[in-house]
Amino acid sequence: EEGMEKRDNILFSDTFDVKDVDKGGKKFDRISRIDGRSQTHDMSLILDINSELYPLDAGDKFKLTLASTLSLSDGGKDAAAFGKGEANWRSYINGDERSLADDYDYVMFGRVYRYDDDSGSKVSAFVSFGGLLMCLEGDIRHLQNFVVGDSVYLLVKSI
C-alpha cells in the first residue's frame, strides 16, 4: 500500500478486473452493469456506471476507491461545504482546490443503503448513487467502515 492510501477518509481501495458487462442483458441505454473481481482483497463487485461517460469492457482493469470525503486535508471541509447535494460537490471538484477527484476519471456521490453481514466473515455493502447501484462483497475486514446512511464517494480510474 502506498503511504497515501492509509488516510482516514479512504474506506476501501483496490484494483479490479472487469469480468463481465451487462451479463443479464442491457437494461438501460446509457447504463452498464459491471461485474468485477478485485486483485488484492478478493472482493466481488457489481457496479452500475454511466457507459456514455465512462465505457468499460470485459478484460479492462480499473482502480476503485470509496471515500467518505474528497478533501486532501484531514478533517477537510467538504462535508460542511457541500452537505447540500450533488450540485455543490460537482462545483467543488471542478474548482481550484485540489481534491481526491483530481486523480480519477469518474466520480459519483451516493449513500450506503444496506449492509449484509448474515453470512459470517463475508459481508456485502450496498451503495446507491442516485439510483445507480453498487454491491461490494468480501471479507468483513475490508468493509467494516461502511455504515448504512453514510455518504460515500466512488472514484474510478482506468489502469
Summarised one tens digit per residue, pLDDT across range 41-85 is 999 999 999 999 999 999 999 999 999 988 876 554 544 444 445
Which residues have a Cβ under 8 Å from the Cβ of 41 and sit 6 or more positions away? 14, 138, 139, 142
Element containing residue 25 per DSSP (H, E):
none
50: buried, middle or exposed (CB in 10 Å: 19+, 13-18, 0-12)? middle
Give me the pLDDT at residue 7, please: 61
Kindly report which listed range (56-60, 86-90, 138-142, 147-151) carries the lowest average pLDDT score: 86-90
In degrees to the nearest 10, what's the CA dihedral of 39, 9, 31, 61? -20
Residue spans of beta strands (DSSP E) within the chain: 10-21, 31-38, 44-50, 61-67, 106-119, 122-129, 132-139, 151-158
| Nearest alpha-carbon partner for 41 in 118, 113, 108, 125 | 125
Task: Quick: pLDDT tens for 94-117.
Answer: 777 788 989 999 999 999 999 999
Query: Cβ distance 17 to 36 under 8 Å?
Result: yes
Q: Give this prediction's pTM.
A: 0.85
